[in-house]
Structure 1
Amino acid sequence: MDPLTFDYENLHVRVDRGVFELFPLDGIEHGFRVPLSWLGALVHYKKPDTPGELILGVVRDPHAALYGTERLAFRYRSTQVVRVPKSDEPLFRAYFTEVAALADRRVV
């Protein structure tokens, strides 16, 4: 099976053989790698009319939602240098829904 990839602005992520990876591109300080069973992802909006921030991390409970993860469910989290307007959130939801299906996990 080919890796499942997603590109958005300066962000490149891929899932291959049960592992999620974020590769550092322009503006992203560090990479991130985690097994799908522990991945959590969220686009968090602090204010209704401002772009959200992408949060990726490791969840405390592998039964937590893979996407739409509550912030308190993270054991470790990292806010990425990616701002996501509400109109682009469905792109992230669609990608992470595919990832969740591979991991037999849910999205919120």
Structure 2
Amino acid sequence: MDPLVLNYENLHLRVDRGIFELFDLSTPSTTFRVPLPWLGVLIDYKKPDRPGKPYFGAVSDSGAALYGTDKFAFRYSTSPVERVPPGHEPLFRTYFTQVAALVDRRVR
């Protein structure tokens, strides 16, 4: 199976052989890597009309939602400087729904 890839602005997201990898191309030293059973992703929209802040991390419980993860479920998280406008959120939801299906996890 080919890797699942999503490129969004300076972010390169990749899933291959059960591992999620995040690369922030604006800061090449910023990377994040985690096995899919512990991946958690959240785009936090504090105000509906404003861009949200993406969080990628490791969750304490593999039963947590893979996408739309509750903030308190994260054991560790990182947030690149990119902001995601509400109109772009479906790109992430579609991508992480495919990723969740690979490991029989849910999205919120």
Would the TM-score normalized by the shorter structure come out above 0.5? yes
Deviations 1:54-94 (CA, angstroms, capped at 9, x unpaired): 10000010010000000001011111111000000000000
Aligned partner letter, 1:100: A
Q: Distance in 1 between matches of 2:83 and 2:27?
A: 12
Aligned residue pair count: 108
Superposed CA RMSD: 1.1
What residue is the counterpart of 2:40 in the other structure?
A: 40
CA contact 1:40–1:65 (8 Å) conserved in 2: yes
Structure 2 SS opposite 1:81: coil
TM-score (norm 1): 0.95
Q: Is the 8 A contact 2:65 2:105 kept in 1?
A: yes
Which sits farther off after the overlay, 22-31 or 89-98? Answer: 22-31
Structure 2 portions without partners, runs of 5+:
none
Match of 1:11? 11
TM-score normalized by the length of structure 2: 0.95
- What is the deviation of 1:24? 3.0
